[in-house]
Amino acid sequence: MANHSQLGFQDASSPIMEELVEFHDHALMVALAICSLVLYLLTLMLMGKLSSNTVDAQEIELIWTILPAVVLVLLALPSLQILYMMDEIDEPDLTLKAIGHQWYWTYEYTDFKDLSFDSYMTPTTDLPQGHFRLLEVDHRIVVPMESPIRMIITADDVLHSWAVPTLGVKTDAIPGRLNQTSFITTRPGVFYGQCSEICGANHSFMPIVVESTPLKHFEAWTSLLSS
């Protein structure tokens, strides 16, 4: 999760988030190169003598027309690739349904019979030592590690948004509509998120907690809840 005074992204825990971080770094380097070139040219113009040589220069005009187009292509191609990857859902191993309410989440494991629960934020007075205030819940989502997970997301009352930054997931929950997304956790751990759509007075108090475990631990957890 994020730390105080952190400037970068959280550590990626899914392949999609890894791609997003790499694209961010790629775009940042392109922007840095453009800013450096513009600063260098401005410095030359300010420090050098004024000249009329740049008034009629077809070569320069050709360069500053083609170069931005090449830069846009270098940014657009990886961006489109990631967009298609984020929208691709290929034979998920598990399907979860998240329903947003004011102000809690309901989760349904649709591949299991009668496996659903409500997830409320843990009040500060009941928070165990070492847990995070305003981020911990009474019932976490548990998913198997390195397995494709499909999330079906909707809302019961107003607009919500199911977002877990370290997984690269952010999908709106809209009443009367089913949106879907997918993710794969690449390592075991506990990943925190929050509702990212202003949904009322207690918008800040409906966190999301995803716990990634090995498959055998996930099977034991589902057996315990189903019994």
Alpha carbon separation from 62 to 30, 38, 58, 184 (Å, rounded): 20, 17, 6, 46
The pTM of this model reads 0.83
Q: Mean of the pLDDT values across residues 175-186? A: 93
SS3 191: strand
CA–CA gap between residue 92 and residue 95 (Å, rounded): 7
Q: Mean of the pLDDT values across residues 204-214? A: 93
Q: What is the pLDDT at residue 55?
A: 57
- The answer, yes or no, to whether residue 44 has pLDDT greater than 70, is yes
Domains, the chain: 13-85 (1.10.287.90), 92-223 (2.60.40.420)
Nearby residues of 86 by Cβ (< 8 Å), 6 or more positions away? 16, 168, 181
- The answer, yes or no, to whether residue 54 has pLDDT greater than 70, is no
DSSP-assigned letters across all residues of 96-138: EEEEEETTEEEEEETTSTT-EEEE-BPPGGGPPTTSPTTT-BS
Chain Cα centroid distance, residue 154: 18
Assigned token pair, 160: 């919500």
H or E stretch covering 172:
strand 169-173
Local structure of residue 53 (DSSP, 8 states): T
CA–CA gap between residue 30 and residue 95 (Å, rounded): 39
pLDDT in tens, 78-121: 899 998 888 888 789 999 999 999 999 999 998 888 889 999 99
